[in-house]
């Protein structure tokens, strides 16, 4: 990606630390050398930040998030590249239950972008259905009984 100082400045705006700036620029696709020049840091510093991974607080949060339940992540400022790309930080992707396919469903409601991963959608639907079914009732057993009754009616005709 060609280094664009104005775009790089926009990307790092609001980032709390140099390491966060380096990660944001890397996520936007900038080369390590360009990041180092832009931030006035040594190339090795940029490389070390990227190789060592996410900050300890984000790493701890990502590890503590159960892989089968959506989680919450504090608000962060994200930037949309001129070509429309939006980079979602790893902690947010994990909390959203985004799988390896990267497929998401998105919609805009009153100006708010809402993004939902398939696994999170299924879990939400399962939760809603559990609320509708009285305790002790097996929906599966009821379905099987309905199918058997339907088959008996068809055989009797």
What pLDDT tens digit does each residue of the chain (157 aa) get? 567 888 888 888 888 889 989 988 888 889 999 999 999 999 999 999 988 866 555 555 554 445 678 888 888 888 888 888 888 888 888 889 988 888 999 999 999 999 999 999 999 998 898 888 888 888 899 999 999 999 999 998 7
Quickly list DSSP for 9-75: HHHHTT-SSHHHHHHHHHHTT--HHHHHHHHT--HHHHHHHHHH-S-HHHHHHHHHS-TTS------
| CB under 8 A, 24+ apart: contacts of 40-49 | 46/22, 49/18, 49/19, 49/22, 49/23
In this prediction, residue 93 carries a pLDDT of 87
In this prediction, residue 143 carries a pLDDT of 93
In this prediction, residue 145 carries a pLDDT of 94
- pTM of the entire predicted model: 0.47
Q: What is the pLDDT of residues 15-45, one digit of tens each?
A: 888 998 998 888 888 999 999 999 999 999 9
Q: What span, in angstroms and rounded, lies between the C-alpha atoms of 37 and 97?
A: 35
In this prediction, residue 65 carries a pLDDT of 46
Domain residue limits, the chain? 5-95, 100-157
């Amino acid at each position: 990606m060609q280094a664009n100082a104005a775009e790089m400045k926009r990307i790092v705006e609001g980032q709390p630390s140099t390491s966060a700036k380096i990660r944001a620029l890397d996520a936007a696709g900038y080369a390590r050398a360009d990041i180092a020049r832009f931030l006035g840091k040594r190339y090795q510093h940029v490389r070390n930040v990227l190789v060592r991974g996410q900050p300890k607080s984000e790493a701890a949060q990502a590890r503590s998030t159960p892989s089968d339940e959506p989680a919450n992540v504090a608000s962060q400022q994200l930037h949309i590249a001129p070509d429309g790309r939006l980079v979602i930080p790893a902690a947010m992707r994990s909390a959203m239950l985004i799988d390896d396919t990267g497929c998401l469903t998105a919609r805009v409601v009153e100006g708010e972008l809402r993004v939902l991963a398939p696994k999170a959608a299924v879990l939400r639907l399962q939760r809603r259905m559990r609320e509708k079914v009285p305790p002790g009732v097996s929906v599966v057993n009821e379905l099987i009984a309905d199918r058997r009754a339907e088959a008996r009616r068809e055989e009797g005709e």
